[in-house]
Structure 1
C-alpha cells in the first residue's frame, strides 16, 4: 500500500488592529506574532525526519497564507540544501482560499456589522452557511477536490498545504463524520497548527488524522 500525507497548516496571526472580518480582502498580512508562529511551525517541520521530506508546498492565494508558507520554506529549504536537494517554491491554488463571507470589511457586532441590524439578521438565519456566503459543503468539496488531485500527483510523499481555519476544519469534519457542517466554537485548528491527513493512494481512504500545535506558546 502506498500512502500520501497532506499536512494542512493554518496561517499565523494577522495584523488587524481594527478587528475587521478580512475574509478574502487583500492587504492583510501576518503580524509580528504571526511571523513568529509561522517560523515556529516551519522549524517543527524542518526538524522532523518525517515532515522535512515534503516534496511540495501549496498555499491559498491570500497574503497571510503565502507569508506563512514562505516562513516555513525559510526554515525547511536550508535542511534540503544540506541534503543536496533543490529549494521548494510556493504553488498557489484558489481552491484553498478562505470561505466567502458577506460581512467582509466589517467589525462584527459594531456599526454596519451589528447583528441586530435587519439587513444582517437575514444573513445569519441559515446555520448551514455559517460564513453567510458559502456553505460548509461547498468549502469541504473544493478542499477534497484539491486533496484527491494532489494524492495522485504525489504518491507516497508528504506535502504541506497552507490555508485557513474554515477550509481545514470543514474538510476534516467531513472525513470524520460524513458531513462538513459543524459548531464553529468547537474547531480545533489553532493559528499555525498542522492537521496531517494520510491517505491510501489507490482508494483515497483516510488512514489517519493527527494534529500538532507548534506555535501554541506564541502570543
Structure 2
C-alpha cells in the first residue's frame, strides 16, 4: 500500500505591534522570533528521519507564509546540498490562504479602529460558525482539494504546505470528526507547528495524523513532538 504525507506548517510569529487583525492584508512580515521559529521548524523537517525526502513545498501567497516557507525551503536545501539531492523549489497555492475575515484591519484592544467599536461585536453570533467571514465548510473544502491533488501528483511521497491556523485546523477537524465547524478558541495549531496527515494513495483514506511543535522553545512553549491522533 502506497501512502502520501502532507506536512501542514503554520507560519511563524508576525511583527504586529499595533495588534491589527491582518487576515489577508499585505505588508505583515515575520518578526525576528518568527524567523527563528521558521528556522527551527525547517531544521526539524530537514533532519528528522520521519520527514526526510520531501518532494515539494507549497505556501499560501501571503507574506508571513511565504517567508516561513522560504526559510524552511532553504534549511532543507542546505541539508540536501550536503547529500547531493536536487533542491526544492517553492510554489504557491491560493487554496492555502488565510480565511476571509470581515474584521480585517481592526485592532484587538481599545481606541479608534478597535474590534469592539461601531457594532463589530454583533458579527460574533456563533463561534462554531464564523458569521464574521468565510465558512469553515469552504475553508476545509479548498484545503481538501489541495491535499487530494497533491496525493495524486506525488503518490508515496511527502509534501510541505505552509498555511495558517484556520485552514489547517478546519481541515484536520473535518477529517477527525466529519465536520469542519469548531470553537476557534480550542484550536491546537501553534505558530510554526507541523500537522502531518498521511493518506492512502488509492482511497484517500486518512491513515494517521501527528502533530509536532518544534519551535515551541522560541515562544516559551515546552512541547517538541506529540502524537495526538491516529485514525
Shorter-chain TM-score category? over 0.9
- Structure 1: tracts of 5 or more residues without a match: none
- Contact 1:99/1:131 (<8 A) preserved: no
TM-score by length of 1: 0.95
Q: Structure 1: which 4+ aligned runs deviate by more than 6 Å? A: none
Q: Is 2:84 the partner of 1:84?
A: yes
Q: Match for residue 58 of structure 1?
A: 58
Q: Cα offset for 1:113?
A: 3.2
Is residue 127–residue 182 contact of structure 2 (8 Å, CA) maintained in 1?
Answer: no
- Indicate conservation of the 8 Å contact 1:103/1:113, yes or no: no
- The structure showing larger relative contact order (alpha-carbon pairs under 8 Å, at least 6 residues apart) is 1
1:153 corresponds to which residue?
A: 153
Report the Cα offset of residue 121 of structure 1.
3.3
Instruction: Identify the residue that residue 190 of structure 1 maps to in structure 2.
Output: 190
Relative distance call for 1:131 and 1:189 in structure 2 (3 A) is farther
**How far apart, CA to CA, are the structure 2 residues paired with 1:123 and 1:112?**
16
Residue 116 of structure 1 deviates from its aligned partner by: 5.7
Q: Over the residues paired in the alignment, what is the CA RMSD in angstroms?
A: 1.3
The alpha-carbon distance between structure 1 residues 114 and 164, as it changes in their structure 2 partners (threshold 3 A), is closer
Partners of 1:160 and 1:177 in 2: CA distance: 23
SS state at 1:160 partner: strand
Deviations 1:52-100 (A, max 9, x none): 3100000000011111011111211022122222111110000000000
Structure 2: tracts of 5 or more residues without a match? 220-231
Matches within 5 A, 1:112-151: 112-115=113-116, 117-118=118-119, 120-130=120-130, 132-151=132-151
